[in-house]
Amino acid sequence: MVAHVGDFGIAKNLAENKTSTQTKTLGSLGYIAPEYGLEVRVSTRGDIYSYGIMMLEMLTRMKPIDDMFVGELNLRQWVKASIPYKIMEVIDGNLLRTKQGDVLATIKLGLECSKELPEERISIKYVIIKLNKIKLQML
């Protein structure tokens, strides 16, 4: 697996006391939160979405702009449809050496981060707590 470094911090340009703002669409296709395209509204929840998509990409080894994702099908929907019975079909084969529960917990976290509606996405504080729990289970 090749590591990629990304900065989804579009929202970091916000003033400290604001939770959202209007801007032109920025970001990479496949990682842009749905509300950016619909409302052109930037928020920290959009960064969580992008992080979730990146997690799913890392765990499946599939890019969100892969040719298989056409029409309404996207990376998130493909992964979500695989739970619980076909999860091993979407996981990167190199990760199968780890505990299946750890991989499933990480997949579920990626799905929580990339929910369609911003208000349904978890906060970064919760993401960190969940990642630390997963890490401790792997040790």
For residues 20 and 107, what is the distance between their CA atoms, to the nearest angstrom?
Answer: 28
Q: What confidence tens digit (pLDDT) does each residue in 83-102 have?
A: 888 888 898 888 776 666 67
Whether the per-residue pLDDT at 112 is higher than 90: the answer is yes
Q: Measuring CA to CA, which residue among 70, 82, 72, 69 is closest to residue 111?
A: 82
CA of 105: how far to CAs of 75, 108, 111, 119, 124, in Å? 17, 5, 10, 21, 16
Q: How far apart are CA 105 and CA 137, in angstroms?
A: 10
pTM of the entire predicted model: 0.74
